[in-house]
A = this chain, B = another copy of it.
Amino acid sequence: MEEPRAVTIHDVATRAGVAVSSVSRALSSHPDVSPAMKAKVFAAAEELGYTPDPGAQSLRSGFTRTIGFVVRDFANPFFGDIIHGVEEALNDAGYTLLVTNSSGDPGREVDRLTLLRQRKVDALLLSSISEASTRTSKAVAGFTRPVVLIDRDPRKLKAGSVLLDHAQGVRDATADLIALGHRRIAMITGSTAIRPTRERLRGYTEAFEAAGIPIDEALQAPGAFSAAFARETTERLLALPPAERPTAIVAGGVQTTIGVLEAFSELGLRPGDDVSLVVCDDLPWLRVMRPRLSVVTRDAEEMGRQAAGLALELIKGGEPRSVTLPTAYEVRETSRPVSV
């Protein structure tokens, strides 16, 4: 119960026989401090096992050495990997990560943002629910500290960003399916309110244009990032008459993938047999799925590391910039020639 009164900078000063201000300077490697003083102070600090109080430091300096991150969903392994990468890079730099969860609720998102501002985080990482939300934009614009967006368009925001080149991977995947003879390729994705969906649709469109083949608009199905939506859409499309029914499907996002797979098994279809399937976002459990799904991969941990790096760069006064990481189409077992 009895809190054992931590050792303060004052104790170190007394021990070393110098002033508190000198201790502070010595420890924070201020230019104007003699080697002798530095040695004395370090010795005393060492003996007493002194560690500065982050609370007091931040009260005075205004900086918390903490970086905030608002994610949509903790349980999504994609974010798990990103967070992992962020934390790793941040800890190396002596920063702490404060992650928080919007649960996909815009109101809660704004709420979490204001919390982080109150807590005076030195920078903000954000992968917002919707790029169109005015409330979120306002909350972000209210930040006086650096902001880094994860896989979101900076738009008017003066923010750094780490982006994925979704278009690349999806373009390659679509082109491959076209080469395999597919013409009716469905694109099932989440909300166009965020960049990944738009980019995937762009890659899809570009592949068709490059091949000089017209696109069947009815087979582009953006909507919501939920398994339920993806499942319903897939079931609807696969129920179309043979002449309109897609022979291949490209699915974007983790939840979408799950929904599409639910639909397949509901209809008793095996991916790759009648209908080819390419999914985005590689995941650990895809390794144990049979058949092995063709996939558009990306390095989520690297995204996290890059985001952390950008944030630290901005804190040091750098100008906001954008980093784009590649995605890659990886053929496995469910990209098959169209069955005639």
Contact = CB atoms under 8 A, between A and B. Distances in A.
Interface of A: 1-4, 51, 53-56, 58-59, 62, 64, 73-77, 80-81, 83-84, 87, 96-101, 103, 115, 118-120, 144, 227, 258, 261-262, 265, 283-285, 287-290
A188 B227 CA distance: 31
A112 to B, nearest CB: 9
Contact of A75 (B56, B77, B262): B77
B101 A87 contact: yes
A109 to B, nearest CB: 13
Contacts of A4: 144
A151 to B, nearest CB: 17
A203 B131 CA distance: 50
Contacts of A290: 265
Contact of A265 (B74, B97, B288): B288
27 contacts: A1-B144, A2-B144, A51-B118, A53-B118, A53-B120, A54-B118, A54-B119, A55-B58, A55-B64, A55-B120, A74-B80, A74-B84, A74-B87, A75-B80, A75-B81, A77-B77, A77-B80, A83-B101, A87-B101, A96-B98, A96-B100, A96-B115, A97-B100, A98-B98, A99-B99, A262-B288, A285-B285
A106 B144 CA distance: 38
A138 B53 CA distance: 21
Nearest to A97: B100
A289 B287 contact: no
A120 B75 CA distance: 27
Contacts of A62: 3
Contacts of A64: 55
Contact of A288 (B73, B87, B258): B258
Contacts of A261: 288
Nearest to A145: B3
State the 5 A-B residue pairs at the shortest beta-carbon distance, nearest first: A75-B80, A261-B288, A74-B80, A285-B285, A55-B59
A23 B270 CA distance: 68
Nearest to A58: B55
A155 B33 CA distance: 50
A73 to B, nearest CB: 8
Contacts of A120: 53-55
Nearest to A264: B288
